[in-house]
Structure 1
Amino acid sequence: MRTEKRIDQSRFPFCLEGEKVTSMWKVGLTGGIACGKSTVTAYLKEQGIQVIDADEISHRLMGEDPEIKAALLSHFGEDILDQQADLDRKEIAKRVYASADELSFLNRLMHPRIRQSIEEDLAQLQALGNTLAVIDVPLLFEAHFEDLVDEILVVALPKAMEVERLMARDGIGQDLAEKKIASQLALEEKIARADRVIDNSGTIASTKNQVEAWLKEKEEKHVMS
């Protein structure tokens, strides 16, 4: 974890200094690629909510875990290294999104380690007195992490917008963008499994309003009960 700050006590006064928390409401945040999860997590952080970012964990593990680096080099060869002899994530992405087998290999390697890190972070946040934590996991369903959370939020927008935003965000062509999207569970299926859907097809203000409404429900039903 990069921070040990508790959630905003002015908003969630039942998260008190030194108070032992026996139950923490855990929320899984997921959605399609480039659907706007970062917009939601940024707003949550502004409100003092602790967010565990699975992508950040993955990046850290690839950069720091020698066993992961060795396994990737053994599988893909040294062509996945950049000029500084570090793992080239873009090169790895090209390979795994071009082959279902390669993507499966990467997921088998990374998901158990990511899960372990998330579990450790959740335990730490609860020990620090937090009563609400959000886990941002793009592959929440694909990795079968649903059992880690009490509630699931899905950020969604129409397919055409998803492709357009992904192309702009990653600087890639439409073909690769569509392959990346197809590598995940269909957004429609994620929506069907969600407890709450955040529609990010409108303005940022509209998205924030939806998140704010959800936060108010947490104050009333879970965090402050």
Structure 2
Amino acid sequence: MDELREKYLQGKMSEAEKKTFEKGLSPQEKQELAAELGIRAGLESSFRSELRNKVAGFEAQGKRVRRLNPAYIGIAASLFLVASFMLYFKGDQESLFDQYYEVHPNFELTTVRGNEDPTTREKAYAAYDIGDFSGALAAFNQLDSMQNADYFFRGVSLIQLTEYKKALADFDVVINQKDKDYEVAATWYTALIHLKSENKEFAIPLLKTLSEGESEFAEISQKLLAQL
């Protein structure tokens, strides 16, 4: 363990090795590593900058109040370092969602220009196309009957509105119906929502299934798995 620790700190690990090492750390080990060794390889540059600014603030405060015990500065900096180190690991899955998530393009239904009396379904997709996801959701909810495509695009609209549980319910419909056009995409978005919700144990099996397939999501699922 000590050899791996030194290798990690000296930046001699590949990205895959770093991920494996970080996964094997207990919360206590992460705290000890952060408190003892400070800013090292593997921490985000934004975190390094934030810590420098924080310590600079402590030093400035120390100049203004001469009687401030220097030990308090070290303790405060250490506590900040531990908290930031823990947030780095915790927030990683959510940042992956932001990195990989994109709104799915609408190939299902386009509104014909000049149509003065569009149907409710056409209104839903027209709103979706211009990024009016609240309007799209309202129109989808007014439909008397829903097709699998409608459930799918309503699900994406719900993601945009941060209604993740409702989005999962719509994607489940598409997946359970084994829709040939949208099942795979619904599986991809379901995996991303689980990552966003820090439910990696649910996301990984879905990503593995996608990575072993032949869809357009196979390669990107492999890439995402390598980062988990």
- Shorter-chain TM-score category? under 0.3
Task: Answer 1 or 2: higher relative contact order, Cα 8 Å, separation at least 6.
Answer: 1
Q: Which has the larger radius of gyration?
A: 2
Structure number with the higher helix fraction is 2
The normalised TM-score by structure 2 is 0.26
Structure number with the higher strand fraction is 1
